[in-house]
Amino acid sequence: MTAAKKVTVGIIGGLGWLGSALLTSALANPKLNHVHFVVSSRRSPSKALGDRVTFTHDNQYLAEQSTLVVLSVRPQDWPSLPLTKIDSTVMSFMAGTSCEAIQQRHHPTHLIRALPNGACSVNQSYTPWFCASDLPSETETLIVNLLDSIGYQDRYEHEDQIDVLTAISGAGPAYPALLAQGLEQSAIALGIPADKARKAVNATLQGSAALSPDLSQSPGETVALFESYQGTTAAGLAAMKASGFSGAIESGVRSAYLKALHFNQPKD
Ligand SMILES: NC(=O)c1ccc[n+]([C@@H]2O[C@H](COP(=O)([O-])OP(=O)(O)OC[C@H]3O[C@@H](n4cnc5c(N)ncnc54)[C@H](OP(=O)(O)O)[C@@H]3O)[C@@H](O)[C@H]2O)c1
């Protein structure tokens, strides 16, 4: 049996939330044992990154060493990134930054847009990804193994679907947190002490997540199940629906989607 070819993955912004989660999880994935990592940041790492990781402040050096370059800087920091041409495959994590814009600036061999979420730090991200071109099978396997390391991934056919999902899965814990905040405030308004209200709400959300480990489970069926009891929860659900709960969510998702579409466009 021949040893797997050495592959180097460069992570620009590799000390950030998503970049460091990808690094940690990929290092622990046995399918990526042959991969070496080069990580860049403007600051220096506060702890050793391990034998298979090289740290640099020099993004040009990182790009020259890497088979695959992961762009994990904030979209606002990307225009000032001191790096133009990248002669390898690029995978961008940047929200709202189109393939066209990245292609024009970096001219990579292949370009992937992927959109993880904050749960990547607990290996529970849902990561949609898109690539306009056919990928060599070893590159596709590398992408799949990297993204599987931080949770779940699906390849999509149209770039616009990444912008739509930026507004949904990309938001990670944010929308559940808004629901939790509303429940916490309601509990306090009805006389529950603040510390117990918080504990009750957080425990309820944790329990809900633990009850739905099957990703094909229908949320609509869960709502219908509680409606069928015709009890207190059904009364709460009916009042929330009548107050425009679904409309509020739809309008929030549309606003986030529009922001994703126009995020990095120059202002007039
Ligand atoms: N967090 C999320 O939930 C989420 C969800 C979907 C998509 N995304 C996307 O993922 C990307 C990363 O987000 P994040 O949350 O991980 O942000 P983050 O924690 O701020 O990480 C970005 C990192 O980029 C580094 N950086 C900035 N300029 C740099 C440069 N010139 N060279 C090297 N490193 C540089 C920063 O470190 P230094 O200041 O030390 O340079 C920072 O640690 C963003 O584009 C975001 O749109 C994030």
Write out pLDDT tens, residues 87-138.
Answer: 999 999 999 999 999 999 999 999 999 999 999 999 999 999 999 999 999 9
Range 256-259, long-range pairs (CB < 8 A, 24+ positions): 256/166, 256/167, 256/168, 256/170, 256/171, 257/163, 257/164, 257/166, 257/167, 259/96, 259/167
* Rounded distance from Cα 72 to ligand 1 centre (Å): 5
Question: Is there an atom of ligand 1 within 6 Å of 19 CB?
Answer: yes
Per-residue confidence band for 213, with pLDDT thresholds at 50, 70 and 90: confident
Question: Is there an atom of ligand 1 within 6 Å of 172 CB?
Answer: yes
The DSSP symbol for 171 reads: G
Per-residue confidence band for 4, with pLDDT thresholds at 50, 70 and 90: low
Per-residue confidence band for 212, with pLDDT thresholds at 50, 70 and 90: confident
* Rounded distance from Cα 73 to ligand 1 centre (Å): 3
Opening angle at CA 113, ends 111 and 116, nearest 5: 145
The DSSP symbol for 46 reads: S
Is a pLDDT exceeding 80 seen at residue 263? no
Q: pLDDT tens-digit profile of 172-209? A: 999 999 999 999 999 999 999 999 999 999 999 999 99
Can you tell me which atom of ligand 1 is nearest the CA of 95? 47
Per-residue confidence band for 6, with pLDDT thresholds at 50, 70 and 90: confident
What does pTM read for this prediction? 0.93
When pLDDT is averaged across residues 229-255 and rounded to a whole number, the result is 97
Q: What is the pLDDT of residue 265?
A: 63
Domains of the chain: 7-157 (3.40.50.720), 171-262 (1.10.3730.10)
Average pLDDT, the chain: 95
Is a pLDDT exceeding 90 seen at residue 5? no
Question: Is there an atom of ligand 1 within 6 Å of 121 CB?
Answer: no
Is a pLDDT exceeding 70 seen at residue 268? no
Q: What is the pLDDT of residue 185?
A: 98
Question: Is there an atom of ligand 1 within 6 Å of 83 CB?
Answer: no
Q: Any idea which residue has 């690094």 for tokens?
A: 23
